[in-house]
Chains A and B, each alone.
Chain A
Amino acid sequence: MHKYLLKRFLLMLPTLFGVALVTFLLIRVIPGDVVELRYSGDRGAVSQELLDRERARIGLDQPVWKQFVTWMGGVLRFDFGTSMWTGAPIWEEIKLRFALSFQLAIMATAVAVLLAIPLGVLAALKQDTWVDYSVRVFSIAGLSMPSFWLGIVLILLLLVVFKWLPPMVYTPFWTSPTQNLAQLIWPALAVGYRYSAIATRMTRSAMLEVLREDYIRTARAKGLMQKLILSRHALKNAMLPVLTVVALEFAFLIGGLVVTEQVFNLNGIGLLFVQAVAQRDYTLLQALIMLVAGAFIVVNFMMDIAYAWLDPRIRYR
């Protein structure tokens, strides 16, 4: 087990390094640069000399490989540098936004799980009946709506029908739980519903598979209450693939809510990402992509460990 763990851990490192390298090169190929964007504004009347001086100050005049080495040196010490746009330390820029995105990811995942498990189980038990069909139509419909459209429709509904709008400014949960939830519950519902679809499907197929296994048939034959069977045997075994899907979605939600955060004006990682792209803030972008990809890689690693722990065969593969 320890050997497998170590091997799996070591495999994470080249992936992280690859992400760092690809990120670094990719964003430097995108046309436009931070200095020009910041200082020429809407008039474009700024001297070349000033632009050159500023580029030199933030190190953009260096060869790319040298910039990469400098940056990697910092990353190894967990120092991501300062934002090229604001000059503030990266962690200061990310801190507050991360808190919001993390909370939203938890809430949306909770919504998705609360929808997916009961619906998936229900669909499996009533396979190929109208109940199964309705559940599938409901969950697939969520997956099919563009998130920007769903968000806009939801906001408009709140405004037109209830003449009410969620708060526009983030309040940390411990400062005011009601304010906090009043703002985040709507995007959490919209996103959670959307992402429940895949988990619902996984639950349904895992349940179907489990329901066919012999010991469940035996249990059913013995006349145990169905509810009991579900909770004791079937659901426990069905959990693993569902858990995988949910965990990976959670990792994705931390940084992937680009459109939703815009529509609901949430000061989160996704919105910061859009801003960083628009401003060509290389250092901030690098840190953000590393954060998002890092979350994904770490969650992936943890799921592998969980599988290995539950299923000893994997360790020797």
Chain B
Amino acid sequence: MALNPPLDQAVEIEVPAAGGGWTQAVREFCRARPLGAIGAGIIVVMLVVAVAAPLLAPYDPVVNDFASMLAAPSAAHWLGTDAFGRDVLSRLIYGSRTALLVGFGASVLGATLGAVLGVASAYFGGRVDLYLQRVMDVFLSFPLIILALALVAILGNSIPNLILAIMIPMIPRSALVIRSSALAIREMPYVDAARAAGFGHGRIILRHMLPNVMASYLIMLTAFLGQAILLESSLSFLGLGVQEPIAAWGLMLRGAAVEFAEAAPWMAVFPGLAISLSVFAFNLFGDSLRDALDPRLKTQ
């Protein structure tokens, strides 16, 4: 229902953007959706920081320096140092790599696999749909964090496993939404026409149905990005995510940061802000994107 916008209109928004020039579309988005633009701006900055981490970080994020442990923010260490004398700013900068890698990896894979299953489920209908839906229901009923926790415990905690653990709970959520969008398209005349013309299932799904659920897909993807970063930091905080001495924001909040929360608040405050700000940016952008792609919510 609410998750099932009339997609032909949504596509219209996309197409001129692709044809009529990127710059104009971006300018239009910034004017109409200032919040979304702010979110996008933060995301771009994050991406730049992550890519240029070795150039930007003033210190090696791994090397211990017991001479300057728990140092307060100063000219030498802008955001202070942690319990091992490691520069908090440098670890934040390198931590953005972990966050983005896991965030993008898990949400792109999760949303895409979910989309494929959702479209297939809607397209084939009948038995396939029924069975797929039951399987999805089972995974939907598990709370997200619980499923991830079990998966990490089983697989062990490397970054690829972490991506997998965060991705799996996302698949049924994405599939559910994409399926309802796809159900509407399934009945469209051009899909019928394609079928009558004797095109194969694969071709119809790829060429005709997938492009038309693009809007729902993008909405899911941006929503997942924020969730994935948050989930990665939660798992790292619980000791189930990335491993020391690799820099990761959730890991920076584990142990000493909590113990020293009052005596050395910079250890807890800055990673917490980094997580919140990046998730905030993705959510803000996603929220505006949803408004933009859902024509019913357009300003008159």
A: residues with CB less than 8 A from B are 11, 14-15, 18-19, 22, 26-27, 29-31, 127-128, 133, 136-137, 140-141, 143-149, 152-153, 156, 160, 201-202, 205-206, 208-209, 212, 241, 252, 255-256, 258-259, 273, 277, 289, 292-294, 296-297, 307
**In the complex the two chains form, is A140's CB within 8 Å of B283's CB?**
yes
Task: Please measure, in the bound complex, the distance between the C-alpha atom of A152 and the C-alpha atom of B253, giving whole angstroms.
Answer: 11
In the bound complex, residues from chain B placing their C-beta under 8 Å from that of A146 are 230, 233-234, 237, 250, 253, 272, 275-276
Which residues on A sit within 8 Å (CB–CB) of B65? none
Residues of B in contact, count (CB < 8 Å): 45
Which residue of the partner chain, among A19, A149, A209, A292, contacts B272 with CB atoms under 8 Å? A149
Given contacts A140-B287, A209-B297, contact A145 B141 (CB under 8 A): no
> A205-B297, A209-B297 given as contacts; is B280 within 8 A of A30 (CB)?
no
B277: chain A residues within 8 A (beta carbon): 144
Chain B residues 93-117 with CB under 8 Å of chain A are none
Does B149 belong to the interface (CB within 8 Å)? Answer: yes
* Structural contact, A208 and B296, CB atoms closer than 8 A: yes
A19–B142 contact, CB under 8 A? Answer: yes
Q: Mark B209-230, 1 if CB is under 8 A from A, else 0.
A: 0000000000000000010001
Give the docked Cα–Cα distance between A31 and B275 (Å). 31
Tell me if B153 is interfacial: C-beta within 8 Å of chain A. Answer: yes
A16 to B229, CA, bound (A): 30
Interface of A is mostly: helix
Q: Are B154 and A144 in contact (CB under 8 A)?
A: no
Whether B145 lies near A277 (C-beta < 8 A) is: no
- B135 CB-CB contact with A under 8 Å: yes
29 A-B pairs whose Cβ atoms sit less than 8 Å apart in the complex: A26-B150, A128-B299, A136-B284, A140-B284, A141-B276, A141-B280, A143-B226, A143-B279, A144-B279, A145-B272, A146-B233, A146-B234, A147-B234, A148-B237, A149-B253, A149-B275, A153-B272, A156-B261, A156-B262, A206-B2, A252-B143, A256-B143, A258-B145, A277-B150, A292-B143, A293-B141, A293-B142, A296-B140, A297-B137
| 3 smallest beta-carbon distances between A and B, as pairs | A18-B138, A293-B141, A144-B280
Known: A160-B262, A208-B296, A209-B297. A289 touches B146 (CB 8 A): yes
Contact (Cβ within 8 A) B146 A273 = yes
Given contacts A26-B154, A297-B137, contact A259 B234 (CB under 8 A): yes
B-side residues, CB < 8 A to A, are 1-2, 34-35, 134-135, 137-143, 145-146, 149-150, 153-154, 226, 230, 233-234, 237-238, 250, 253, 258, 261-262, 268, 272, 275-277, 279-280, 283-284, 287, 294, 296-297, 299-300
Q: Closest Cβ of chain A: how far from B225's Cβ, in Å?
A: 12
Task: Contact check, A152 vs B261: say whether CB atoms are below 8 A apart.
Answer: yes
Given A146-B272, A205-B2, A259-B234, A30 contacting B142 (CB threshold 8 A): no
A49, chain B: closest CB distance, angstroms: 28
Q: Name B296's closest neighbour in chain A (CB-CB).
A: A209
Interface centre among B143, B275, B283 (most CB of A within 10 A): B143
> Cα distance A147–B276 when bound, in Å?
10
- How far is B136's CA from A22's CA once the two chains are assembled, in angstroms? 12
Once the chains bind, are A205 and B262 in contact (CB under 8 Å)? no
> How distant is A83 from chain B, measured CB to nearest CB, in Å?
18
Contact present for A19 and B276 (CB under 8 Å): no
State in angstroms the CA–CA spacing of A26 and B250 once bound together. Answer: 26
Q: How far is the CB of A251 from chain B (nearest CB, A)?
A: 9
Contact check, B234 vs A19: say whether CB atoms are below 8 A apart: no
CA distance A289 to B140 in the complex (A): 12
The listed residue with most A CB atoms (<10 A of its CB), out of B135, B142, B238, B258, is: B142
Residues on the A chain within 8 Å of B279, using CB: 143-145
> Roughly how many angstroms separate A206 CA and B2 CA in the complex, as a whole number?
8
Other CB < 8 Å A-B pairs besides A18-B138, A137-B284, A289-B142, 16 of them? A15-B138, A19-B141, A19-B142, A30-B153, A146-B237, A149-B272, A209-B296, A212-B300, A241-B2, A252-B143, A255-B143, A256-B145, A259-B234, A277-B153, A292-B141, A293-B141
- A residues in contact with B143, CB < 8 Å: 252, 255-256, 292, 296
Whether B294 and A205, one on each chain, are in contact in the complex, defined by CB atoms closer than 8 angstroms, is yes
Assembled-state Cα–Cα distance A273/B134 (Å): 25
Residues of A within 8 A of B237 (CB): 146, 148
Contact call A296/B299, Cβ cutoff below 8 A: no
A258–B128 Cα distance when bound, in Å, is: 35
- Residue of B140, B253, B262 touching A148 (CB-CB under 8 A): B253
